[in-house]
Amino acid sequence: DVVLTQSPDSLAVSLGERATINCKSSQSVLNSLNKGNYLAWYQQKPGQPPKLLFYWGSSREFGVPDRFSGGGSETDFSLTISSLQAEDVAVYYCQQYSSTPYTFGQGTRLEIK
């Protein structure tokens, strides 16, 4: 199985400041044929299902604010919030869909400092 390791486990950032979450994969999730990174990011708020933020590592899902950005390739990825807003408090997960079983990172809890 592909193991995804997120860092940090939790993060406290001041409003308006930058927040960055990392996701490291035990195997490359880059598809050699289409050059796509098979990695997604989700945001989950308490009592809600996860919400898709990015697919292909950096393709923003419709409706996701542009203060969110996704980057990286092969085994190292990041999710950045350029200016933290109160509504961004949540747990964030990365997920690979390169090979089954699809796996998730352990999650990163983002809070306001």
Residues at the interface with another protein (CB under 8 A): 1, 36, 38, 40, 42, 48-52, 54-56, 59, 61, 93, 95, 97, 100-107
Distance CA 64, CA 55 (A): 12
Closer Cβ to another protein, 16 or 46, answer by number: 46
Smallest Cα–Cα separation from 3: which of 108, 102, 109? 102
Q: How far is the CB of 91 from another protein (least distance, A)?
A: 8
Q: How far is the CB of 84 from another protein (least distance, A)?
A: 22
Smallest Cα–Cα separation from 44: which of 106, 112, 113? 106
Closer Cβ to another protein, 13 or 93, answer by number: 93
The residues near 56 (Cβ < 8 Å, ≥ 6 apart) are: 36, 37, 38, 39
Closer Cβ to another protein, 67 or 97, answer by number: 97
